[in-house]
Amino acid sequence: MARKPIIAGNWKMNKTAKEAKEFAEAVKNNIPSNSKVDSVVGSPALFLQELVESANGTELKISAQNCYFENAGAFTGETSPAALNDLGVDYVIIGHSERREYFHETDEDINKKAKAIFANNMTPIFCCGETLETYEAGKTAEWIESQITNGLVGLSNEQVASMVIAYEPIWAIGTGKSADANIADDICGVVRKTVEKLYGKEVSESVRIQYGGSVKPENIAEYMAKENVDGALVGGASLQPDSFLALLEAVK
Ligand SMILES: O=C(CO)COP(=O)(O)O
């Protein structure tokens, strides 16, 4: 079964409401309408409602960048997955290395979030990736295996088959130092093998795996040409409409 490419922008903590709206207006009707690629924008929670309304009926899908694992209650400052689903959000990015590092999220938290996202009919974009130290020590494969094993525990075959996993080496995020496409393919292959070991071949052939880390319009084609890379999770180069659209156009 051919996997449909998926390009997701991760705006991180950027833009104002006005800028977010301008982006959606500029992009939503210019997405290649051949359905060759799923196009997603990951926005701060503040602008999700505006973006969902603006993108309604178009090819542009909207993602949150995080959520909590409970639907409601005394959790000051958190975002409810039930409320995200109610807004019309389709995807939620979880386990980004910035959240793991600055907000101390553990594999266990991320696993609970994955379950809560599925329970609320949305799709997780589950991030994994290693530090430069782990990479240089030659321990990337075992690190990724452990993040996947712990992060996906208890999910059903059907859920894992339908989700998106983003491999983002921390040393390539926002550094301009992207991982070589062969390295990205190798580690995305480790992700797929790990999924196969845990959930079987049918699931591993369905799950979509993105590479992330200094992807831009000029280099995205190199990654997309690789067997195990089904898309990209893009930070800086997803912020401007022209650049975001160029990423989509580059997917053949
Ligand atoms: O962290 C990333 C996307 O989630 C990658 O960010 P950059 O594309 O800015 O390197």
Tokens linked to 166? 């983003």
Ligand 1 centroid distance, CA of 73 (Å): 32
Helix/strand/coil for 135: helix
Any domain includes 83: yes
Any domain includes 1: no
Nearest CA to ligand 1 atom 2: 235
Write the CATH number for 82. 3.20.20.70
Q: Which residue has the higher pLDDT, 39 or 34?
A: 39
Any domain includes 241: yes
Is this structure's pTM higher than 0.95? yes
Tokens linked to 215? 């992807």
- Quickly tell me which residue has 């609320």 as its tokens: 120
- How many domains in the chain? 1
Q: Residue 189 and residue 233: Cα distance in Å, rounded?
A: 17
Ligand 1 centroid distance, CA of 110 (Å): 19
Q: Which residue has the higher pLDDT, 118 or 173?
A: 118
Any domain includes 100: yes
Any domain includes 30: yes
Catalytic residue among 96, 105, 130, 222: 96
Q: What is the arithmetic mean of pLDDT over 29-54?
A: 91
- Quickly tell me which residue has 């594999």 as its tokens: 107
Helix/strand/coil for 146: helix
105 a catalytic residue: no
Any domain includes 23: yes
Any domain includes 72: yes
Instruction: Please check the confidence at residue 33 and state whether its pLDDT lies above 80.
Output: no
97: domain range?
6-249
Q: Residue 84 and residue 39: Cα distance in Å, rounded?
A: 18
214 touches ligand 1 (CB under 6 Å): yes
Any domain includes 177: yes
